[in-house]
Structure 1
Amino acid sequence: MKKKSLLSIIAAGMVAVTLLAGCGKKEDTKPAESTTKTETAKADATTSASVVSDAAAFEQAIGTNGKWIIAITKDVTTDKELVLDGEFKNGKKDDKGNDAIQRKIALYTQDENRKVTARFTLTAPKLTIKSPMASIQHGTFKGDVYVNVDNFQLVDAKVDGNIYFATDSAKSTFKMDGTSSVTGKQEVKK
């Protein structure tokens, strides 16, 4: 009986790894990639993802030494103020052939067909956005967001709090799609 249970656990783990590895080739739209430490060391640091499940790992991943995608795999709560900082390339080219700049906080998981399978909540008193071309996608941020850059986006995401913009330009270039929402104020606060 013990042998059967162990084999079931191993088989379930192999299925999960296979699904993650299958999703790993779609970096541009998925929140995470499955790699070993050796593969991660070989990957281009600017185009790979950070997959985290706790506040300490998230805090490290959003810094200047992090990755362009920061994906959480469950609800994460911290009492610290967070800062998304650094300029990152997503591995694609823009219309002019230059490396595309992007930073994504992915509050979800998805299947091999890119269908969102789970949404998560990130809770912190404050999140300051300093990375250019940043977005929060497919989940909820509970707290206030302070946007210091242009072109910040919400994609199928909710901010349960206020969004404060450092400049008129940051506010005027802010975008959110029809499935996104903000429960509080959206205003310039210098």
Structure 2
Amino acid sequence: MAIDSSTDGRVQRGNETRRAVLGRAVQIASVEGLGALSIGRLASDLGLSKSGVFAGFGSKEELQLATVRAAKRIFYDRVVTPALERPEGVARLLALCEYWLEYSRGRVFDGGCFFYSVTAEFDAQPGPVRDALAEAALEWEGLVVGLVRAAEASGELPAGAEPEELAMLLTGLMDSANSLAVLHDDPSRYDRTMRAIRRLLGCPSVA
């Protein structure tokens, strides 16, 4: 069967446009929120036609959902995947926290943590976008709790640690570091937070 090169070219261009749009969309949303996204704005920012951008998404809601999915892939690539390559136990849990703080410090997203920035925008608005954000939050919480339980099972955590409570403390510390570091443009918040996390996990401080 002959391959239609013109069709392949259109598909490739469509995929490239979609990647460019989502690359810009995740940065806008991390600073201004998902509500700031629009087909027209993204087309203007990227020098594309509105019809070309619209063809890739079809609606503002689908654009928002695709942006959440794109941000989740970036987050996993930068934080979760490298952490899971570490040995199971406290080393893996500590690595997850370190990668998370570096993800915020390094401004992978211009506004700091993408999910911290956009969740408050939709937490009281029922609908598909809120559902996608809620699902992402539950996945993250479940991952942290699971790593805490694995570290507890290996006997590496301080006595009396309760997995759900410890996971809540860890994620709360990281969220606070992100928020305050962005607000005050103060990267020292990340260093202080990492020292606090090490104490919580019974790990020695590093210079």
Q: Which has the larger radius of gyration?
A: 2
TM-score norm. by structure 2 comes to 0.28
TM superposition score normalised by structure 1: 0.30
Structure possessing the higher relative contact order (Cα contacts under 8 Å, 6 or more residues apart): 2
Considering fraction of residues, name the structure with more strand: 1
